[in-house]
Structure 1
């Protein structure tokens, strides 16, 4: 937090409050329209007819409004011509997960479908949005989610994902193989779920351009403070680049981990990002031991005991 950052924080606060006011005005309208359009539909079934013709452009328009007015993010897009080839090949969209705004950017430009636990469908507004995007709702075994949503799919998640990705009645299926957000200029290990079965993928690269403030949503001490800093920037620039669909080799079809790693290396090269030896499990350990970056963004902080150091998660010195 330099003096310049404090200056922006104070000067942009009235504009942030004004954007909040506008967002609160239009969100109920979007919610009501979606609820009406979704009457008579069933989750995990394709949206067809007039509903499909209306909902997709309607949602993409309002996602743009939310992106620009609600979050003050103005992306540039390159490689959009590769999306038509991705639909032709029924390629799975894989993207690097940087921030909590990634999904809004993808929705504004592509409106893909994704994966959610069954109970998400019942969340006010957000549930209607995910249903309108044709999300795949799955039942999380052994949890309180079981049997709460009668139409939730109960087969193996990987099998369901590939069945949905190959079905031309649905939008492209989007997955963040890293499984979590992290520092922007690295790529965590990819899980192999999107690569099992040897289907083609279309890599989508997300990069937030900022000189002073880091948009990346990693292990931060105060999430609300990070959100407020993002909201009080003069403008937030981002780049979206769609690479050509990636058709796996015979060796990659036989080895999903090799396939995932080769796609990760390709994306890292294009992004200019480092390859991290860590993955989602390592990030979960950081959370478990209360390890995060302090509110200034300069220091590593541990809440609680020194168990993390003893476990070798962070250096002792």
Structure 2
């Protein structure tokens, strides 16, 4: 839980599912990187705007300064400068995608480009009838099944603020790797080098297996 005394401009967290956002909203009410399509979603879009979210359009190629890494760095430096006291801290899921809660993926370096101190937070969900990891179930169905549970439990472990060394400030990849290892000393998850592309391929394989074959169609035809 937050201990007071201010929050660094960047919060680094592992990522299990959509409920992570609700947990961090309750703790910090931070900004986060969101898909541009959320801007037009009723209520959700207004909440994202109020949280000063950074919107990104997947697949769009932008220059270094306009890209999400450059915009993140600018936001972090602005928040750290104190020139804009209303600037929200930025929540970064440094793995870049969700996991099943048992693993921790490699951290992307974009969250560490500014070389500023970060607030590591580890989320751990209690194993219930429904897994809180959001992997292969559609969002609407997963939310519905979660709400059907009488109780869901999550623990948010707030580690001490991580202050980078001179070497880490100069090398974002080194900084990202060291923060990941630092967090996992407490999280005790399995480290993995899986990527977002691996996840997409896995989901595509599952989807293909669930589709009825032509033989099945012929068998069921009247």
TM-score (norm: length of structure 1): 0.57
Mapped pair 1:236 → 2:158: no
Deviation digits for residues 152-199 of structure 1, max 9, x if unmatched? xx8232121111122232010111011111111111111111012322
**Contact kept in structure 2, 1:184 and 1:207, CA below 8 Å:** yes
2:7 matched to which residue of 1?
Answer: 86
* TM-aligned CA deviation for residue 239 of structure 1: 0.6
Number of positions where the alignment pairs a residue of Structure 1 with one of Structure 2: 204
2:206 to 261, 279, 291: 291
Alpha-carbon distance in 1 for matches of 2:55, 2:35? 5
Note closer, same or farther for the CA distance 1:265–1:117 as it changes in structure 2 (3 Å cut): same
Deviation digits for residues 246-284 of structure 1, max 9, x if unmatched? 111122223222211111112222112111121222212
1:173 matched to which residue of 2?
Answer: 90
1:163 matched to which residue of 2?
Answer: 74
**Contact kept in structure 1, 2:33 and 2:53, CA below 8 Å:** yes
| SS of equivalent to 1:290 | helix
Deviation digits for residues 69-119 of structure 1, max 9, x if unmatched? xxxxxxxxx3x11x53434xx3x1111111111111111221001123444
Note closer, same or farther for the CA distance 1:281–1:191 as it changes in structure 2 (3 Å cut): farther
Any unmatched runs of 5+ in structure 1?
1-77, 147-153, 293-300, 305-317
**Contact kept in structure 2, 1:186 and 1:268, CA below 8 Å:** no
1:100 to 18, 22, 25: 18
Q: Show the 5 A alignment for 1:1-317.
A: 78=1, 80-81=2-3, 84-87=5-8, 90=9, 92-138=10-56, 142=60, 155-168=66-79, 169=84, 170-220=87-137, 225-287=141-203, 289-291=204-206, 302-303=209-210
2:214 matched to which residue of 1?
Answer: none
**Contact kept in structure 2, 1:188 and 1:280, CA below 8 Å:** no
Alpha-carbon distance in 2 for matches of 1:139, 1:243? 32
TM-score (norm: length of structure 2): 0.79
Alpha-carbon distance in 2 for matches of 1:157, 1:225? 30
